Each structure stands twice: as C-alpha cells, then as structure tokens.
Amino acid sequence: MRVTPETPTVHIVGAGGQLGTALQERADRAAGQVLWRPLTSADIDIADEASVATALGGLGPADVVINCAAYTDVDGAESDRAGAERVNVAGPALLAARTAAAGAWLVHISTDYVFPGTPLDGEGAGSAEDRPDGYEPDDVRGEPATVYGATKLAGERAALAADGRTTVVRTAWVYTGGPESRDFVGTMRRLEATRDTVSVVDDQLGSPTYCRDLADGLWELVLAGPRDAVTGKVLHATNAGRATWFEVAAAVFAEIGADPARVHPTTTAEFPRPAPRPAYSVLSGRSWAAAGLTPLREWRAALHAAIADSASAGGSLP
C-alpha cells in the first residue's frame, strides 16, 4: 500500500476488548485501503478531554474512529452510576466533539440494553407479533431497565448531539466462542467440561452475535465510507434470527459433541441479579440491510463457525 497524507486511518478505540480485538484480527479486509491504529485504555482515556486530544491529535477529515470502549459491567453499574456515566456518556461525547472538529467520522458501538427489555406488545418473551424481526432503531420507548442501558442510551444521544455525522451501531449478545473467553459461549464450554448438567434461563430472548461477524460488518461499513445512508443514523448489527440463552447453550453443547439434553431450561427468577436482564432484546437487521450493508448470517451458522474457528486456533478444551 502506498501511504499518502490522504490515506485514511481507522482508530480502534477500546482495542484491548472483545470487539476491538476482533476488529484487529479481521483487519485484513481493509488491507490496501486504510491504515488502522489500535488504542487501548493505556493509550486513551475517552472520558478525559486532554487524553482524547493527545491520542487523537493527528485526526484528519478522512479518518474514522470506531469506539468500542464502554463500561460493560451490567451489575456493577447499578452501584456505580458515576463510573458508568463517565465512560458511557462523557466518553462518547468527547470523542464525537473531536471527530466533529476534525471533520472525521465516529462509529460508536452501542447495545440492545437501550430498550426497556420487553416486547413492544407488552407480552411474554417470545411474542412481539408487531415486530417479528425484533426492535427497529426508532423503537426506543420508555426508559431502559438498567443503569448500564440508561448510560449507553445517553451516550448515543450525546455522541449524535456533539457530531451529527456519527453512526451508532447497536449489537447484542456478543461472543467469541473460545473455551477461555469470558462470554456466554466460553462459559458454557467450560461448564460442559466440569458439570454433569447445566441450568440456563429459557425466558430471555435475544440476538446471539459472533464477534468476528460483527467485526466484518463494521469493516464493510467503514470501507464503504461516510454517506447519507449511514451518517447521523442508528443501525442494528447482529446475526440473524433469535434464540433464548437456553437454546444457545444447547447449541454450544451440540457443536462440541456433548449431549444437549444435559442443558436444562430454567427461569430468570431462579438467577436474581443486581441488574434485571431483558426478557426481550431481539434486534432487527432491516436498518443494516437498508444502508446497503451485507446482513450478518443466521446465528446458528455463526455459532458453528465460531466453534470451528476456535478449534483451528488451538482453542479446544482437553
């Protein structure tokens, strides 16, 4: 690649996290088109104006900032609202102010938790007949049920207010699939190796999303460039389809050659947490496709790929 002063640089903020790592692993999709630069928490404090100015001091109008950084401790946020607001609200606002001043483009990652967590028709986890494909971006009604969700929603609004060209991308139930990962799929793989049976809630319905598929989608978004179809918009990017956590766990067991009957369904009431978990957080992919972007594949196929990818990378459990 011939680097010129006009060559765009993609600044990956939160590069040490799950999605930031996946974006780097999938950066070959951007080879020859852009430069990319990882920024971890050691490189930038997104809620500190001086740190943002220093880390992004060379930001140019052709550049992109992907903000993957967030306060993601859903339970911890219930007793640390100030900490969650600092990272999830003040941080995006400062990044957006910086991209606005430079004429650059901010892609800000958000979450399904911005929704109240119940179907729009107010019935049970699997109903939502009025939105069979899940929540649309404009379906935010009422207040989020958690501090985490409230701060992420406020962060979306703060970013868009500071830079009207910001693109917000909401996603949900993100996992990598490796047996050592701290996400749901990794946890199920470890539990399969240590327990005879596992009880998993079957009354929370959502959109399981393979982190690498999400990263590929974000690279497609970035490489297509800022345009009216995406700037100033909120988009949803998840693997297609819907599942309960119980269904995901049973599928994980099946994928690794274990008996899925060892996974037993239970209810949310059996696992009380400081922050209530949404009964319904399916996200529709219509906005993503309407922006001319490739829909992410069906969640079951993505899970199969995730387990295979982790095995090829040497991530099989003994």
Catalytic residue numbers, as ranges:
148
As a whole number of angstroms, the distance between CA 253 and CA 175 comes to 15
Residue type, 274: P
Residues with Cβ < 8 Å from 172, sequence gap 6 or more?
111, 112, 206, 207, 208, 209, 238, 281, 282, 283
Residues with Cβ < 8 Å from 33, sequence gap 6 or more?
1, 8, 223
Q: Are 303 and 255 in contact (CB under 8 A)?
A: yes
What is the β-pairing status of strands 205-206 and 243-244? Answer: antiparallel
Question: Other C-beta atoms within 10 Å of 228: how many?
Answer: 8
235-266 burial: b if 16+ Cβ within 10 Å, else e: bbbbbbbbbbbbbbbbbbbbbbebeeeebeeb
3-state DSSP helix/strand/coil % of the chain, to nearest 5: 40, 15, 45
Phi, psi of 31 (to 5 degrees): -60, 130
Q: Are 107 and 214 in contact (CB under 8 A)?
A: no
Which residue in 123, 84, 247, 108 sits closest to 173, CA to CA? 247
